[in-house]
């Protein structure tokens, strides 16, 4: 592994560029480098691991039990990459992926305040997941964070929320995080579970598969540990963060009655969804996954997207968890090597067969979890008009409903023009899924039909000075010289 610390160390061309150093990206980069390909692994974060194995090489948390045994498995992925020749660039943002004239791709990079354009024959996007937006009144108050944010602060910096802490939402990660924070010494005054009771009816058909899945033992242990020790409240139907300027409490509705729990930190979680911005901006086709209830890039059995040469591995192409992400990364790397002519099809298939078998095993039981922890409709499309949906431009649910019904706005792209919704720096990452739900609900159509934002590069803000300082290419010079 060759660590890249400045933009000048990045080569002009790589056989494969991998975006994201979580489990999928680490495994893809390692496999590709082991096959003798030149590899760039670019990652925004300061250290490898992605979010699930966040800070695996640098964490100050030394008590292994606090983060659980699964977390420490991430170390093996980094160890596998170390002896290879893959170039690893931390703190490096990829803001653009576009086809180039040579049949490969041109990537826009930013590192240490400087930008560059480089070429890669194949691209593997391993951009992972983000938490599903969970808009409730007051969710923009300082003191309210995602549950994942608290977990990142714990893994990367050994931080634990001070004061009275409430965790609210739905999904297996909610129980995992509650357990981890409690083990690290947090004062958890309530765990507010919004899992709709009727989800059990939908999920029960998928239960037999779950019984044979690796999730079962893990899940039961988590539930037993969390439920036994922590103050659980189930059947939560509405939430509102209270406070003026900063969080002071959370109002929770259960069985038609509301109560306010004073707290200093509120951690929200409503499952995770693929981070699709880069794939979307690169033009990869996507569809609405009805089970996981989110927009998902469309990929084939090799995790190849609709654009030949761009693969999407890991949770960025559908949530499957860390173990499956690493396996998907390997499969994508094998196919990328085949596309580059470095691996015959038969060799690729032979290498992939055992990985595929493991992948199938790791995903068994997933459907049960997806159905059980599907968020309730009122958390996907907030009923209170004053709830902010677009955190950047401070656009509310009421404004979006009004634009969809009275002004006849039919989709999220048109909504941008009317309300500037999705046009702030986060570029729809925190409002997109909610805007789609609200428009779909208001117009009585499906999310699929409503569509999603059409995103454009740069997918992360890059300064004008960085762009102006880009070394000009021959083509760019020809374009302006007469």
Partner 1 sequence: MHEVKPAEALGFTFDGRALTARAGDTVAAALLANGVQACRQTPVSGADRGPYCMMGVCFDCLVVIDGVGNRQGCLVPLREGMRIETQAGRRHPDGAQS
- Which residues contribute to the site for partner 1 (CB under 8 A)? 44-46, 51, 58, 60-62, 66, 91, 93, 113, 130-131, 140, 142-146, 148-150, 152-154, 156-162, 184-185, 245-246, 275, 391-394, 424-426, 429-430, 460-461
**In terms of CB distance, is 55 or 336 closer to partner 1?**
55
Distance CA 84, CA 30 (A): 7
**In terms of CB distance, is 49 or 411 closer to partner 1?**
49
Supply the minimum distance, in Å, between the C-beta of residue 178 and partner 1: 16
Distance CA 264, CA 366 (A): 34
Supply the minimum distance, in Å, between the C-beta of residue 231 and partner 1: 21
Greatest alpha-carbon span in the chain: 75
Burial class (CB in 10 A: 0-12, 13-18, 19+), 471: exposed
Residue holding tokens 């997109």? 432
Supply the minimum distance, in Å, between the C-beta of residue 254 and partner 1: 26
Residue holding tokens 């790791």? 362
**In terms of CB distance, is 2 or 426 closer to partner 1?**
426
Pairing of strands 13-19, 39-42: parallel
CA distances from 386 to 25, 392, 397 (A): 40, 15, 6
Tell me if 413 sits within 8 A of 452, measured CB to CB. Answer: no
Supply the minimum distance, in Å, between the C-beta of residue 309 and partner 1: 25
Q: What is the CA radius of gyration of the chain?
A: 22
**In terms of CB distance, is 185 or 301 closer to partner 1?**
185
Distance CA 315, CA 129 (A): 6
Supply the minimum distance, in Å, between the C-beta of residue 388 and partner 1: 9
Supply the minimum distance, in Å, between the C-beta of residue 432 and partner 1: 11
CB atoms within 10 A of CB 212: 11
Supply the minimum distance, in Å, between the C-beta of residue 375 and partner 1: 17
At residue 129, the 3 state secondary structure works out as: strand
**In terms of CB distance, is 153 or 376 closer to partner 1?**
153
**In terms of CB distance, is 146 or 292 closer to partner 1?**
146
**In terms of CB distance, is 99 or 424 closer to partner 1?**
424
């Amino acid at each position: 592994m060759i660590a890249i610390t400045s933009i000048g160390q990045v080569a002009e061309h790589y056989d494969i560029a991998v975006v994201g150093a979580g489990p999928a990206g680490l495994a893809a980069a390692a496999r590709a480098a082991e096959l003798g390909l030149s590899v760039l692994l670019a990652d925004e974060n300061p250290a490898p691991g992605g979010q699930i194995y966040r800070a695996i090489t640098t964490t100050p948390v030394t008590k292994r039990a606090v983060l659980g045994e699964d977390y420490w498995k991430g170390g093996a992925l980094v160890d596998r990459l170390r002896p290879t020749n893959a170039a690893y660039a931390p703190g490096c943002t990829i803001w653009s992926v576009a086809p180039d004239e040579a049949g490969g791709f041109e990537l826009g990079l930013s590192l240490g305040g400087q930008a560059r354009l480089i070429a890669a024959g194949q691209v593997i996007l391993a951009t992972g997941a983000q938490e599903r937006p969970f808009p409730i009144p007051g969710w923009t108050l300082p003191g309210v964070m995602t549950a994942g944010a608290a977990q990142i602060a714990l893994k990367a910096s050994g931080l634990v929320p001070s004061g009275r802490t409430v965790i609210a939402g739905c999904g297996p990660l909610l129980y995992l995080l509650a357990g981890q924070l409690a083990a690290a010494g947090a004062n958890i005054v309530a765990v507010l579970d919004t899992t709709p009771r009727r989800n059990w009816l939908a999920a029960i058909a998928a239960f037999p598969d779950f019984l044979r899945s690796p999730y079962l033992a893990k899940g039961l242990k988590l539930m037993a540990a969390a439920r036994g020790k922590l103050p659980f409240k189930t059947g939560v139907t509405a939430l509102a963060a209270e406070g003026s300027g900063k969080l002071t409490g959370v109002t929770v509705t259960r069985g038609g009655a509301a109560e306010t729990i004073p707290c200093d930190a509120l951690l929200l979680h409503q499952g995770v969804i693929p981070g699709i911005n880069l794939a979307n901006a690169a033009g990869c086709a996507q569809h609405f996954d009805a089970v996981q209830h989110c927009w998902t890039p469309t990929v084939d059995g090799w995790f190849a997207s609709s654009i030949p040469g761009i693969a999407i591995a890991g949770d960025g192409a559908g949530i499957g968890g860390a173990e499956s992400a690493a396996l998907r990364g390997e499969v994508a790397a094998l196919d990328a090597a085949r596309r580059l002519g470095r691996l015959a099809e038969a060799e690729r298939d032979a290498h992939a067969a055992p990985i595929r078998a493991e992948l199938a095993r790791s995903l068994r039981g997933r459907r049960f979890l997806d159905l059980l922890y599907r968020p309730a409709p009122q958390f996907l499309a907030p009923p209170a008009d004053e709830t902010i949906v677009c955190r950047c431009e401070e656009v509310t649910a009421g404004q979006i409903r009004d634009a969809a019904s009275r002004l006849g706005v039919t989709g999220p792209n048109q909504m941008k023009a009317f309300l500037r919704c999705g046009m702030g720096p986060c570029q729809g990452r925190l409002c997109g899924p909610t805007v789609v739900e609200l428009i779909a609900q208001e117009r009585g159509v499906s999310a699929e039909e409503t569509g999603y934002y059409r995103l454009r590069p740069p997918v992360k803000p890059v300064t004008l000075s960085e762009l102006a300082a880009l070394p000009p290419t021959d083509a760019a010079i020809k374009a302006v010289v007469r």
